[in-house]
Amino acid sequence: MKKSMLMLTVFCSLAFAQIDSSVKVPQPIHNLAVFGNHKNHPVQKMRIHQELQRLAPLKCDEVKTKLSAQGWRIERLMLTDIASNLLYVGWGYDDSNKAFKLFVDPSDGRIVHQEERL
């Protein structure tokens, strides 16, 4: 049991290690978002969301506009802390109407990783 949990942890950390952002989340905010005492409490979620918005150079609407100019149709976009990297994560469709999960850098609006949704 312990070995499988360790392998799962290593696999998850390797999967997100390739997704990098130019905006790093400070350790106290990262700890609050990931390991917070009441991280699922509505007030705590609001506080974490406000802190992440304060760190993002581009707002959500600006990123959606940049992606739309590149031919993407964005359904949902959310600011998220992934392994101390600040990223916009959302769902979108390309020109051929294929669905993708997008990971977008909040500093310049470029897509750093995309996964095709099945």
Please report the pLDDT score of residue 13 as a whole number. 46
Of 2-6, 39-43, 110-114, the least confident: 2-6
> Is 109 part of a structural domain of the chain?
yes
> Is 56 part of a structural domain of the chain?
yes
DSSP letter, residue 65: H
Mean pLDDT of the chain: 83
Report whether pLDDT(10) > 50: no
Res. 2 pLDDT band, cuts 50 70 90: low
Q: What angle do CA 41, 46, 51 make, to 5 degrees?
A: 125
Number of folded domains in the chain? 1
Report whether pLDDT(65) > 80: yes
The whole-model pTM stands at: 0.75
Question: Which residues fall within 8 angstroms of residue 36, CB to CB, at 6 or more apart?
Answer: 44, 48
Please report the pLDDT score of residue 36 as a whole number. 63
> Is 77 part of a structural domain of the chain?
yes
Please report the pLDDT score of residue 25 as a whole number. 80
DSSP 3-62: HHHHHHHHHHHHHHHT---SSBPPHHHHHHHHH-TTTTSHHHHHHHHHHHHHH-SS-HHH
> Is 8 part of a structural domain of the chain?
no
Question: Going edge to edge, which strands form the sheet with 111-116?
Answer: 73-82, 85-93, 99-104, 111-116
> What is the residue range of 52's domain?
20-116
> Is 83 part of a structural domain of the chain?
yes
Res. 3 pLDDT band, cuts 50 70 90: low
> Is 1 part of a structural domain of the chain?
no
Q: For residue 100, what is the domain's CATH number?
A: 3.10.450
**Which amino acid is it at 30?**
H
> Is 3 part of a structural domain of the chain?
no
Mean pLDDT value of segment 93-114: 94
Distance CA 113, CA 116 (A): 10
> Is 104 part of a structural domain of the chain?
yes
Report whether pLDDT(9) > 80: no
Angle between helices 27-35 and 42-55 (to 10 degrees): 150
Please report the pLDDT score of residue 78 as a whole number. 93
